[in-house]
Amino acid sequence: MLHVHLTRTSDALTSVSAKVLPVPQGYLYAHHQLFDEFQNATVWPKHLLVEYSWTTQHSVDALSALYVIFFICLLVFMALALNVVVAYETKLKAFMAEIAGEDPLSVAPLVKGD
């Protein structure tokens, strides 16, 4: 009996391996006529029992995963920053009023010319 193992990734076949195995007793009883024909050298074509198995490998695109993680971190940062601004809105307004003064145009210039 021939055992063929196929490996695929997405839509592509990536590897094939085959090995010859002894025929299990259950197959010999089920296919006794084929077994007798195989041992008879005058009977052609010869029949071959083939067993297939598949393995699927999943591939991950690392660059896309990094982009997704970066985007999620950016969204979390923006949400936290917005939460801080909303929580301290009155204190921020008072701070800006203190820095700017009552009339920002009446403040003397910082650089004095001769």
Q: Helix 62-87 and helix 89-100: axis angle, to 10°?
A: 70
φ, ψ of residue 18 to 5 degrees: the values are -135, 145
Residue 10 shares a structural domain with residue 52: yes
111 pLDDT higher than 70: no
pLDDT digits (tens, 9 = 90+) for 10-45: 888 899 999 999 888 888 888 888 888 888 888 888
The reply to whether 113 falls in a domain is: no
Residue 50 shares a structural domain with residue 88: no
Residue 76 shares a structural domain with residue 94: yes
pLDDT for res 26: 87
Q: Note whether 47 and 37 are within 8 A (CB).
A: yes
pLDDT digits (tens, 9 = 90+) for 69-100: 999 999 999 999 999 989 988 888 888 888 87
The reply to whether 67 falls in a domain is: yes
- The predicted model scores a pTM of 0.48
pLDDT for res 17: 94
Residue 10 shares a structural domain with residue 48: yes
φ, ψ of residue 44 to 5 degrees: the values are -135, 150
The reply to whether 36 falls in a domain is: yes
The reply to whether 114 falls in a domain is: no
The reply to whether 111 falls in a domain is: no
Q: Predicted confidence band at 61 (pLDDT cuts at 50, 70, 90)?
A: confident
The number of folded domains in the chain is 2
Residue closest to 4 by CA, chosen among 15, 31, 28, 24:
15
